[in-house]
Structure 1
Amino acid sequence: MNKAKIAWITDTTASLSKEFIEKHHIHVIPLHVVINDEFYKETIDITEQEFYERMKNEEGKFQTSQPSINDFVELYNKLKENYDCGIAIHASSLLTGTYQSSVMAAGMEDFKLFAIDSQTGSYPLSYLIKKGIDLVDQGLDAQEVVNQLNALRDHTRLYLVPSNLDQLHKSGRVSGGQKILASLFNIKPILSIEDGAAKIKDKVRTEKKAFAWLVNQLTEDLATKTVRKVAVVHANHFEKAAQLEKMVNESFPHIETEKMMLITVAGVHTGVGTLGLSWVCE
């Protein structure tokens, strides 16, 4: 029996390198970033770094927008000519409607699609895609791959520490009173992406305590699970990201680390200077 030809589909929240995308022929649909009502295709018209620099230096509205369903319709119309089916892994459906648009477009084009709501984004999403490609290479069929990746979702971790509450306040995530109190007492909320949504996991007084909290979460997971790699995510704050990476390297010299820019769909709410850690438990 001939092996099914599988297309891989994702979106720009996946934090994949251009080299990896090209090597594995991954079809990436861009989300849009919106600056003062002007639309830019993420990673095509504007990089994450450029977006954060503009957010830091310009007044106005900074938002994100999901891809048009037509982008997916066009893609699936082409893919069905050359592929038997597709596996699509998208950012959490609670954070963006991209997953829903992808599924709907595949139905409109009668393209056989195995769709996964990753319930996350950034590094964990890239991990799921890489793991899926490995599983296909090992000979698993599309449904078996999807089952394994769905089981992995509960083992992903993504923690974010906003540098301040300005952007969370603008996006309606915190009230004005909370913002003032946090500024007065230097309180830093720690956000976690869990079950597809952003939740305030804890609140600490200083950045130093926030970093210690992040490392402690990793320590707790390592007591019972295997973690091979940790991503230090940041919203255009290379210096602080290097400090956090150094802490992880000193505490866990056997674990590989990588610094990566925080996806704008998260950064538009958490703001410039956000820092965080992400990993997947195996």
Structure 2
Amino acid sequence: MNNAKIAWITDTTASLSEEFIKKNNIYVVPLHIVINQESYKETIDITQKEFYERMRKEDSKFQTSQPALGDFVNLYSKLKEDYDYGIAIHASSLLSGTFQTSVMAAEMVDFKLVPLDSLTGSYPLSFLIKKGIELVEKGLEINEVVAQLNGLREHTRLFLVPSNLDQLKKSGRVSGGQAILASLFNIKPILAIEDGGAKIKDKVRTEKKAIAWLINNLKKDLETKSVKKAAIVHANDLERAVQLEKLVNETFPDIETELMMLITVAGVHTGVGTLGLSWVSE
């Protein structure tokens, strides 16, 4: 199937640049952002920056929802005309129903689809897509491409440090009592997207300790594996993100860095000012 015409499909949690999407003919299905029951298509009706600015200013209810089944049905009906099959790499199926909806739509219109549950989102998801495209261009068979990408999933790291627990409390991820205690004692939870789900990895007392924790975890991975690039993710707090990037550059001069806005699916729970570090070990 090396000469087959392949379509690449993903969703807006992949944080791919417009330039990369166009260059590689990637079809990106947007997730929906819901503010006080009003729905917006991410990156089309509202940018991630606009979303975080509204979250900072408004006392509204912020939610996200997966793409509608119809969005995928329409896309796959069109792709069926021009492509032999599609490779869909989506956000973790434990964090969003996008993956399941994508698979269902392909079955409905009889479009041949190779679906891959990334078990992550944000930078690691974009990494898997780029890697997949690179492997296909090298002429690897599709089953080998899928096997390699599946193997990389356990080496993805995405750690997030919320600036405060207000949004986690609103979204029901922590109780009010825990949030008050944490703010009194200045406790910072460190969240990880791991095995497809979100979990609290650790709790530290200050932001300085949280940053040190992130750097140490990258150091640990470098003892046994190689990391070519790290992404500094932020929920519309460029100033702190640049400071973290500078620290990563000074500590690991051989690692390339990229600044990236945090995907809104995560930001809805962690809030404005969240800072994080992400990489994939090879």
TM-based fold match above 0.5 = yes
**1:143, 1:226 → 2: CA distance?**
25
**1:138, 1:188 → 2: CA distance?**
44
Query: 1:190-269 maps to which residues of 2 (within 5 A)?
Result: 190-269=190-269
The amino acid of 2:11's aligned partner reads D
Q: TM-score, normalised by structure 1?
A: 0.99
Percent identity between the two aligned chains: 77
Structure 1 position 50 matched with structure 2 position 50:
yes
Measured after TM superposition, the shift of residue 153 of structure 1 is: 0.3
**1:206, 1:145 → 2: CA distance?**
42
Task: Provide closer, same or farther for how the CA distance between residues 110 and 182 of structure 1 changes in structure 2, counting only shifts above 3 A.
Answer: same
Structure 1 unaligned runs (5+)?
none
**1:141, 1:86 → 2: CA distance?**
14
**1:105, 1:253 → 2: CA distance?**
45
The amino acid of 1:33's aligned partner reads I
8 Å Cα contact 1:114/1:143 also seen in 2: no
The amino acid of 2:114's aligned partner reads F
After TM superposition, which residue ranges in structure 1, 4 or more long, deviate above 4 angstroms? none
**Structure 1 residue matching 2:221: 3-state secondary structure:** helix
**Structure 1 residue matching 2:222: 3-state secondary structure:** helix
Equivalent position of 1:108 in the other structure: 108
The amino acid of 1:113's aligned partner reads L
**1:4, 1:203 → 2: CA distance?**
49
Equivalent position of 2:91 in the other structure: 91
Aligned length: 282
**1:220, 1:149 → 2: CA distance?**
22
**Structure 1 residue matching 2:124: 3-state secondary structure:** helix
**Structure 2 residue matching 1:173: 3-state secondary structure:** coil
**Structure 2 residue matching 1:232: 3-state secondary structure:** strand
Structure 1 position 141 matched with structure 2 position 141:
yes
Structure 1 position 16 matched with structure 2 position 11:
no
Measured after TM superposition, the shift of residue 142 of structure 1 is: 2.1
**1:97, 1:2 → 2: CA distance?**
31
**2:82, 2:145 → 1: CA distance?**
20
Q: TM-score, normalised by structure 2?
A: 0.99
8 Å Cα contact 2:231/2:257 also seen in 1: yes
| Cα RMSD, aligned residues only | 0.8
**2:30, 2:176 → 1: CA distance?**
33
Equivalent position of 1:168 in the other structure: 168
Equivalent position of 1:151 in the other structure: 151
Measured after TM superposition, the shift of residue 147 of structure 1 is: 1.4
**Structure 2 residue matching 1:86: 3-state secondary structure:** strand
**Structure 1 residue matching 2:215: 3-state secondary structure:** helix
Task: Provide closer, same or farther for how the CA distance between residues 106 and 30 of structure 1 changes in structure 2, counting only shifts above 3 A.
Answer: same
Measured after TM superposition, the shift of residue 193 of structure 1 is: 0.4
Measured after TM superposition, the shift of residue 140 of structure 1 is: 1.2
**Structure 1 residue matching 2:217: 3-state secondary structure:** helix
**2:144, 2:111 → 1: CA distance?**
19
8 Å Cα contact 2:188/2:204 also seen in 1: yes
8 Å Cα contact 2:36/2:62 also seen in 1: yes
**1:246, 1:27 → 2: CA distance?**
33
**Structure 2 residue matching 1:167: 3-state secondary structure:** helix
The amino acid of 1:232's aligned partner reads I
**1:166, 1:201 → 2: CA distance?**
19
Equivalent position of 1:184 in the other structure: 184
Structure 2 unaligned runs (5+)?
none
8 Å Cα contact 2:67/2:98 also seen in 1: yes
8 Å Cα contact 1:227/1:280 also seen in 2: yes
**Structure 2 residue matching 1:254: 3-state secondary structure:** coil
Measured after TM superposition, the shift of residue 60 of structure 1 is: 1.3
Please give the per-residue CA displacement for 1:73-125, whole angstroms capped at 9, x wherever unaligned.
Answer: 01111111111110000000011100000000000011110000000000000
8 Å Cα contact 1:6/1:142 also seen in 2: no
Structure 1 position 80 matched with structure 2 position 72:
no
Query: 1:62-73 maps to which residues of 2 (within 5 A)?
Result: 62-73=62-73
**2:150, 2:224 → 1: CA distance?**
21
Equivalent position of 1:271 in the other structure: 271
Structure 1 position 33 matched with structure 2 position 33:
yes
